[in-house]
Amino acid sequence: MRIASLILLLTLYSMAHAQNPAFPLKRLSNKRYLADQQNKPFLINAATGWKIYTKLTLEEVGEYFQWRKKQGFNTILTQVCMHEDDINRYQQRPFSDNNDFSKPNDAYFNHIVAVNKMADTMGLLIVMSQPWQGCCLEGWGMTAEKPLQRNGEKKCYGLGKYFGRKFHSLNNLMWIMGGDQDPLGDRACIEAMAKGIFETAPHQYITYHAKPTHSSTDLYQYAPWLGISMIYTYWRDKPNAWVSSYPQMIEVYEMALREYMKTDIIPFFLGEAQYEGFEGNDIGTAYIARRQAYWTVLCGGMGAAYGDDTWYFPPDWREKQKRYPGGNQLKHFYNFFASLEWWKLVPDYKHEVLVKGYGEMTKTNYVTAAISSDSSFFVAYIPFQQSVTVDLTKIKSSMVSANWYDPRTGTYSLIGNYTKPDLFYFTPPTNDDWVLYLSGK
């Protein structure tokens, strides 16, 4: 039964293989984005399935992938392993002899290979972490007694080379170093592991998952192995004790603009932010999930990750995922930008196009906006019902078509066609978040 179901699943998705991205990804000439081997820019629309390797069987992984594909996701974030005592559904541990990195369990990692190959067949990018460093001593790092430092640089380097060889054939794979934390005392071990991966699998991009408000380039701007940057923050007024020991949270758009304006250009995406859910750290809403994604792309990023409180796959993960509206609404985010030459967008952070009504920087009423490099179209994400003023002369056309795009339903409504008065006022139709789309006719 297990083999038959897998064959059916793979057959269904192989029928659509021609539309899948041609992995591996590569850097575009503008250095800000990645594209597939057919030069099609890749917009990351990721779901955080962190514990798929330990919590799900291969059949259940296929079910999960199919569901996320249906929701419009094209990328899955995962962890090789999160906890020192992790064991997968086939009773396999990642290492033997008290987590000795020189003694990886091939059976455990063969399961990961099978999962990632399935993802490739479905056209999914996998962004997979090293053994998770951890924010709060739950992972593999932070103290001398934990496996990262206990194994030392030599074994960490050897494990990196093992990873590079084991997963070398997977063109749909990128790597995450770190995990919810800055390097701290684990720095030498993390860098050695990254070096091992980079030397044996240079076609697989590597990023770094820092603690909130830090990006990969804040820590490793000039590391030869860093190929893409990850930003990570929540929002300024997040009411949660877990982040009380961290620096002041900033809004996603603040961090994205900070990353965009760095002089050394590197592609970046929102790797983690607020998850959708009802308790603990995961107290986000569908609205928060939407705004995080739009903010990132309109501030120069190449996509965003969505999370909910099923990331660790509790017994009711299927039912909970179907209850959360944010996971379904992110397909509208993807479809909107995928219909445009989104990689041409230049953030309007100097307010040269949207000249009034852009809200207040550091507040959630701030309007993020961007215009294409050829001035043919303009996009603004308006988080509340607030009037904005746009200089239509910035769009190179004798006539401008204006539309509202509903990020909840993915529907357009025509505002009107204009013969370009200098300034024009737009007010969203309801007290919700809306996308303003202007294009030349």
61 phi, psi to nearest 5 deg: -60, -45
| Average pLDDT in the chain | 94
**What confidence score (pLDDT) does residue 1 get?**
45
Please check the confidence at residue 5 and state whether its pLDDT lies above 90.
Answer: no
Please check the confidence at residue 315 and state whether its pLDDT lies above 90.
Answer: yes
Interacting residues of 3 by C-beta distance below 8 A, sequence separation 6+ = none
CB of 57 closer than 8 Å to CB of 89? yes
Confidence of residue 371 (pLDDT cuts 50, 70, 90): very high
- 361 vs 359: CA distance, rounded Å: 7
CB of 151 closer than 8 Å to CB of 100? yes
- 305 vs 289: CA distance, rounded Å: 9
Distance of CA 426 to the CA centre of its chain: 31
Please check the confidence at residue 13 and state whether its pLDDT lies above 90.
Answer: no
**What confidence score (pLDDT) does residue 281 get?**
79
Secondary structure (3-state) at 433: coil
Confidence of residue 282 (pLDDT cuts 50, 70, 90): confident
Share of the chain above pLDDT 90, in %: 89
**What confidence score (pLDDT) does residue 8 get?**
44
CB of 423 closer than 8 Å to CB of 412? no
Other CB atoms within 10 A of residue 411 CB? 11
Long-range contacts of 182-187 (CB under 8 A, 24+ apart): 182/210, 182/211, 182/214, 182/219, 183/219, 184/141, 184/142, 185/141, 185/142, 185/143, 185/144, 185/149, 186/133, 186/141, 186/142, 186/146, 186/148, 186/149
**What confidence score (pLDDT) does residue 4 get?**
46
Give the residue ranges of DSSP H helices in 167-273.
Answer: 187-200, 216-220, 252-260
179 has which bridge partners?
Answer: none
Confidence of residue 345 (pLDDT cuts 50, 70, 90): very high
pLDDT tens-place string over residues 191-213: 999 999 999 999 999 999 999 99
Other CB atoms within 10 A of residue 363 CB? 11
**What confidence score (pLDDT) does residue 239 get?**
77
**What confidence score (pLDDT) does residue 241 get?**
55
- 104 vs 429: CA distance, rounded Å: 58
For 72, counting Cβ atoms within 10 Å of its Cβ (0-12 exposed, 13-18 middle, 19+ buried), the class is buried
Instruction: For the full predicted model, state whether its pTM sits above 0.85.
Output: yes
Of residues 4 and 27, more confidently modeled: 27
pLDDT tens-place string over residues 373-404: 999 999 999 999 999 999 999 999 989 999 99
pLDDT tens-place string over residues 265-280: 999 999 999 999 987 7
Please check the confidence at residue 232 and state whether its pLDDT lies above 70.
Answer: yes
- 79 vs 4: CA distance, rounded Å: 28
**The residue type at 43:** L
41 phi, psi to nearest 5 deg: -55, 140
Nearest to 92 by CA among 76, 78, 81: 81
H or E stretch including 155? helix 147-166
User: What fold is seen in the domain 348-440?
Assistant: Immunoglobulin-like (2.60.40)
CB of 367 closer than 8 Å to CB of 383? yes
Interacting residues of 294 by C-beta distance below 8 A, sequence separation 6+ = 333, 368, 381, 407, 433, 435
Q: At what angle do helices 2-14 and 106-121 cross, to 10 degrees?
A: 40
Secondary structure (3-state) at 436: strand
345 has which bridge partners?
Answer: 372
Task: Determine the average pLDDT of the residues in 83-98.
Answer: 97
**What confidence score (pLDDT) does residue 237 get?**
85
pLDDT tens-place string over residues 103-147: 999 999 999 999 999 999 999 999 999 999 999 999 999 999 999
Please check the confidence at residue 332 and state whether its pLDDT lies above 70.
Answer: yes
Q: According to the CATH classification, is domain 2-343 in 3.20.20.80?
A: yes
Please check the confidence at residue 10 and state whether its pLDDT lies above 60.
Answer: no
Pairing relationship of beta strands 44-48 and 368-372 according to DSSP bridges: unpaired
The residues spanned by each domain of the chain are 2-343, 348-440
